[in-house]
A and B are shown apart, each in its own frame.
Chain A
């Protein structure tokens, strides 16, 4: 299917999310749509999938103009979408999920269970997508769940498959498998559109690349042979350094010591299972692993945000397990939470107030319970300058900032206190290349000033860029603590549960 977008424009108020975008997706090609978060990729795909109506421009399928009023129309026309967050019902079987919304019904409205299972088997054998139609979705690994999404689209006769950030939740091995599947689909003549901001995968898989920046196409028909730094420059609009300039570590004394720390959920199941490690002053310990292997809970337990945990955590000589979050923060622990929108900022507060969220009771921000807003505003303005937050002033509400600037606000707040430990969870998730560069520099700066740094990351590039040591988490345990010299393949194996040799 040849899918053509001509002059697509979509505005939200004063904001032009898509500005006269024209692009053609050819059958038998993997077309990567590359751009930073907020560049307008998702808006464009939502227009294509009938979720948004464009203000101007047309869509052509095989040369015929079409208008999609809703996703049903797009599906009808042969467009399938695999969302970043899977749209599956966890307690249903694969076959049930696949037929959801297109159930084949027999006499008296009874479901014909067998036909769905057959459809799944047919599609899996045709495209080499192995999956058991009777397996329950929640029991399947994420990579297989994604496969179910793809099968779902294929059983609806999709000729064009749109994949939105398909590798965000996959291990390196799963990513490789996905790319193989996508190549197979391409060879079968499907039109594949891959939305991503990951340069490595684009170069590996795509046949042709279109780069979008600030709602406009800035480069079309880019060859995948283009170097990573050239692609990054196109994406950001200026030269960026992909390598973090990291001086030799000057490692000092042990600052944070974790011994046999376990964290449990409400039912008593261990989410973190007897984990032990130490972090020393002036080093970066990266906790690598696929999302959902206990990293988030581990970090929450370290800063006293998790109620059910056992084991010992010491900051210097002082035990901090069981201490309140306030006390832990006051002892010099900086915390950049994983979900900065939800846990890191108060969206309806001005930036200046967000900058003192965890130190409002300290002088000079307040005295005898009374707040000195003049000092807080001055402090906010200073930090905005210092951390290059792109905002008109410190009075701007936090919710109006872009992801990168929000993260700068959180970092500015944490790093403006005097720290002994900095814990940053997924510090660059969803950030644009420029902001990633900035955040990485700040983290290395903290390390140089003798802070013990823990970075939790699922991105291997980030782990390699920052780590002095890598602790790999798998299923709530530390599968191994390794040197950053380890190969990508070996690290991938550890993340998938292999035991370190």
Chain B
């Protein structure tokens, strides 16, 4: 008789489902991540853009109150209030202008005719964005299948081992060597992510928990590998691999001090391939069906577990490509810090990109631009680069709480009430 009872208020699920796809310890994590996931996938573009605007506005306040000139002018605010306002304007305007110039185009260098230097900011933005976009895809694909992949970090770390081994260990012709190294990174990444999909499909283990645990294992495994004779650079005691062979690295696109390399085109290609996979193929249809309603997918005869595994394999391959941007592109070497924080920034990128490949592309460029511009801003105006991290955090916060953004900008949103009533209405 217990299945006659009203919905469980803690999960919002009615108690009448007989198939036990959720396993008890994971239920809380499951319902929270599920709620966030649905929210992100159904969010509209306006809310996303306004979240960015709102974050920039709050960032402006933080820049103003932390600026020495503003603090000084505020000291005699009642004598000459306009000084304070102009100081605020100057500090915010110069910081943001430095941020945007540092991300896109150095106008001063352009005036002086130094073309390479003028385009240095956009080159940096693209270089920094490439791994963010790919790692963003690694989060976004499972997102569409109903999985929250917190494990891009670990998948990238594990993939770095495979890609690095081929990169410095083999001698192959140029081009082929790069492809082999990328493929090996993708295979390693896919293997690591596939474990998560397999555990979820066979035992129901929640992916949030398994990915977090596998992150630790992968990162410490990478640390261990870097101290082994077969991986560590000869004559070194610190954890660092040999330098990759020239044949296994991404060629620079322009050279002349610009770091931008072929990898950015690989990232762009990956966006298109993932978009094509999601929208044109059966695999994509199944991934989206399982993500939108796994019960209906199961009832329609889809093998939900297999779809989860496939989505994770794709994710791991993308994570493998992401770390290759560093291993075969900018760093040309494997270190313990090769992944940086990209695997976690990828979650921001996927959320901001609303789980869609082109959204991820845009979000990756935005975050990459903020990163590149932040460095320039710190160098030229003294505004700490940490403000960029604050912006990033605020964007995620506003995306997680769209009602807040709506109320600030007085947007009309769909309320749960009107939705449920509309469902039962009129035939």
- Contact status of A13 and B422, CB under 8 A, knowing A347-B293, A357-B296: yes
CB neighbours (8 Å) of A17 from chain B are 421, 425
CB pair B425–A38 under 8 Å, yes or no, is yes
Q: In residues 101-154 of chain A, which contact B (Cβ within 8 Å)?
A: 138, 140-142, 145
**Which residues on A sit within 8 Å (CB–CB) of B298?**
305, 325, 343
In the complex the two chains form, is B296's CB within 8 Å of A345's CB? yes
A12 and B422: CB pair below 8 A? yes
A321 interfacial by beta-carbon distance below 8 Å = no
**Known contacts A13-B422, A17-B421, A292-B4: does B286 contact A349 (CB below 8 Å)?**
no
Give which listed residue, A90, A214, A366, A405, contacts B2 with CB less than 8 A: A90
Residues of B near A13 (CB, < 8 A) are 418, 422
Residues of B within 8 A of A324 (CB): 301, 303
Could you say which of A306, A348, A349, A361 contacts B18, with CB atoms under 8 Å apart? A306
Per-position contact with B for A322-347: 1 when CB-CB < 8 Å, else 0?
A: 00111111100001010100111111
A390 at the interface (CB under 8 A from B): yes
Given contacts A12-B422, A345-B293, A349-B292, contact A306 B19 (CB under 8 A): yes
Stretch from B89-97, B188-196, B275-283, B327-335 at the A interface: B275-283
- State which of B18, B42, B427 has its C-beta within 8 Å of the C-beta of A390: B427
Q: How far is the CA of A38 from the CA of B424 in the complex (A)?
A: 5
Identity of the chain A residue whose Cβ is nearest the Cβ of B425 in the assembled complex: A38
- Please judge, given known A-B contacts A292-B4, A402-B427, A435-B427, whether A371 and B421 are in contact too, CB under 8 Å: no
Cα–Cα, bound, A349→B296 (Å):
11
CA A105 to CA B422, docked complex, whole Å? 43
- Measured between beta carbons, the chain B residues less than 8 angstroms from A87 are 6
Contacts of B270 in A (CB 8 A): none
Indicate which residue in A38, A86, A342, A400 contacts B295 across the interface (CB closer than 8 Å).
A342
Number of A-B contacts (CB under 8 A): 140
A305/B19 in contact, CB under 8 A? yes
Let me know if A369 is at the binding interface, CB within 8 A.
Answer: yes
Q: Are B18 and A366 in contact (CB under 8 A)?
A: no
On whether the beta carbons of A296 and B282 are closer than 8 Å, the reply is no
Note all chain B residues with C-beta closer than 8 A to A271: 18
Q: Which residues of B contact A434 (CB under 8 A)?
A: 427
Given A86-B5, A292-B3, A348-B292, are A15 and B299 also a contact pair (CB < 8 Å)? no
Residues of A within 8 A of B17 (CB): 342
Whether A346 contacts B292 by the Cβ 8 Å rule is: yes
Q: Which residues of A contact B286 (CB under 8 A)?
A: 360
Q: How far is the CA of A90 from the CA of B16 in the complex (A)?
A: 14
Known contacts A324-B301, A344-B299: does B5 contact A88 (CB below 8 Å)?
yes
B412's closest neighbor in chain A, by CB? A13
In the complex, are the beta carbons of B296 and A343 less than 8 A apart? yes
Instruction: Report how many residues on chain B are interfacial, defined by Cβ distance under 8 Å.
Output: 41
Q: Tell me whether A266 and B20 are in contact in the complex, defined as CB-CB below 8 angstroms, given that A15-B418, A346-B292 are known contacts.
A: yes
User: Within the complex, which residue of B1, B292, B425 is in contact with A402, where a contact is CB–CB below 8 Å?
Assistant: B425
Cross-chain contact A370 with B424 (CB below 8 angstroms): no
Q: How far is the CB of A401 from chain B (nearest CB, A)?
A: 8
Residues of B within 8 A of A300 (CB): 18-19
Asked if B289 is at the interface (CB within 8 A of a chain A CB), the reply is yes
Q: Which of A15, A88, A305, A339 contacts B425 (CB 8 A)?
A: A15
Known: A306-B19, A402-B426, A405-B427. Contact between A325 and B299, CB under 8 A? yes
Query: Counting CB contacts under 8 A, is A262 at the interface?
Result: no
Docked CA distance A169–B299 (Å) = 25
CB of A297 within 8 A of chain B? yes
- Which of B18, B280, B293 meets A371, CB within 8 Å? B280
Q: Does B112 touch A at the CB level, under 8 Å?
A: no
Indicate whether B417 reaches chain A with its CB closer than 8 angstroms: yes
In the complex, A291 has a CB within 8 A of chain B: yes
Assess whether B4 is in contact with A291, with CB atoms less than 8 Å apart.
Answer: yes
Q: Size range of the interface on A?
A: 35 or more
Q: Flag B300-314 by CB within 8 Å of A: 1 or 0 each.
A: 111100000000000
On chain A, the residues within 8 Å of B2 by CB distance are 90, 138
Residues in A whose Cβ lies below 8 Å from that of B299: 303, 305, 325, 335, 337, 343-344, 358
What's the Cα separation between A43 and B42 when bound, in Å?
27
Residues of B near A307 (CB, < 8 A) are 19
B120 CB to closest chain A CB (Å) equals 42
Flag if A366 contacts B427 (CB, 8 Å): no
Tell me the bound Cα distance from A305 to B293 in angstroms. Answer: 15
Q: Are A370 and B427 in contact (CB under 8 A)?
A: no
Contact partners of B425 in chain A: CB under 8 A: 15, 17, 38, 402
Q: Does A85 contact B (CB under 8 A)?
A: yes
At the interface, yes or no: B76 with Cβ under 8 Å from chain A? no
B-chain residues with CB within 8 Å of residue A99 when the two chains form the complex = none
Are the CB atoms of B281 and A369 closer together than 8 Å? Answer: yes
Give complex CA distance A273, B196 in Å: 37
B224 within 8 A of A: no
Bound-state Cα–Cα, A38 to B423, Å: 8
Q: Is the C-beta of B216 less than 8 angstroms from some C-beta in chain A? A: no
Q: Which of B4, B282, B296, B302 contacts A342 (CB 8 A)?
A: B296
Known contacts A12-B418, A324-B301; decide if A37 and B424 are in contact (CB<8 Å).
Answer: yes
Q: Which of A17, A330, A342 has the most CB of B within 10 A?
A: A342
Which residue of chain B has its CB nearest to the CB of A266?
B20
Minimum Cβ distance to chain A for residue B4 (Å): 6
* CB proximity of B275 to chain A, nearest CB, Å: 14
Residue of A nearest to B16 (CB): A339
B285 touches A (CB below 8 Å)? yes
The reply to whether B1 and A366 form a contact with Cβ atoms under 8 Å apart is no
A358:B301 contact, CB within 8 angstroms: yes
B6 touching A86, Cβ below 8 Å: yes
Note all chain B residues with C-beta closer than 8 A to A403. 423-424
In chain A, positions 204-232 with a C-beta closer than 8 Å to chain B are 214
Q: Is the CB of A138 within 8 A of B417?
A: no
Between B6, B42, B282, B417, the greatest number of chain A beta carbons within 10 A of the residue's beta carbon is seen for B282
Q: Is residue A380 contacting chain B, with contact meaning CB distance below 8 A?
A: no
| B352-401 contacts to A (CB < 8 Å) | none
A311 to B424, CA, bound (A): 40
A169 to B302, CA, bound (A): 32
A140 surroundings in chain B (CB, below 8 A)? 1
Given A291-B4, A370-B281, the answer on whether A326 and B295 have CB atoms closer than 8 Å is no
Q: Mark B1-31, 1 if CB is under 8 A from A, else 0.
A: 1111111000000001111100000000000
Do B5 and A361 touch (CB < 8 A)? no
**At the interface, yes or no: A432 with Cβ under 8 Å from chain B?**
yes
Give Cα A88–Cα B1 distance, bound, in whole angstroms: 12
The answer to whether A369 and B283 have CB atoms under 8 Å apart is: yes
Which chain A residue has the least Cβ–Cβ distance from B421? A12
* Residues of chain A lying within 8 A (CB to CB) of residue B424: 37-38, 402-403
Cα–Cα distance between A138 and B427 once the two chains are bound (Å) = 38
Q: Is the pair A432, B293 in contact by a Cβ cutoff of 8 Å?
A: no
Known: A86-B5, A329-B301, A357-B300. A15 touches B292 (CB 8 A): no
A179 close to chain B: CB less than 8 A: no
Which residues of A from 380 to 406 have beta carbons under 8 Å from B?
A: 390, 399-400, 402-405
| Contact B285–A360 (Cβ < 8 Å) | yes
Do B4 and A142 have beta carbons less than 8 Å apart? yes
A357 to B2, CA, bound (A): 32
**B-side contacts of A85, CB under 8 Å:** 4-7
A204 CB, min distance to chain B CBs, angstroms? 24
Interface centre among A169, A347, A357 (most CB of B within 10 A): A357
The CA-CA distance from A37 to B427 in the complex, in Å, is 10
**Distance between Cα atoms of A38 and B427 in the complex (Å):** 9
Q: Which 8 A-B pairs have the closest CB atoms?
A: A326-B301, A358-B300, A12-B418, A357-B300, A38-B424, A402-B427, A343-B299, A325-B301
Q: List 22 A-B contacts (CB under 8 A).
A: A12-B418, A13-B418, A17-B421, A86-B5, A88-B5, A90-B2, A305-B299, A325-B298, A328-B301, A329-B301, A342-B17, A342-B295, A344-B296, A346-B292, A349-B288, A353-B285, A360-B282, A361-B282, A371-B285, A402-B427, A403-B423, A434-B427
10 new A-B contacts, CB < 8 A, other than A38-B425, A329-B301, are A15-B418, A17-B425, A85-B4, A305-B299, A326-B303, A346-B297, A347-B293, A357-B296, A357-B297, A402-B425
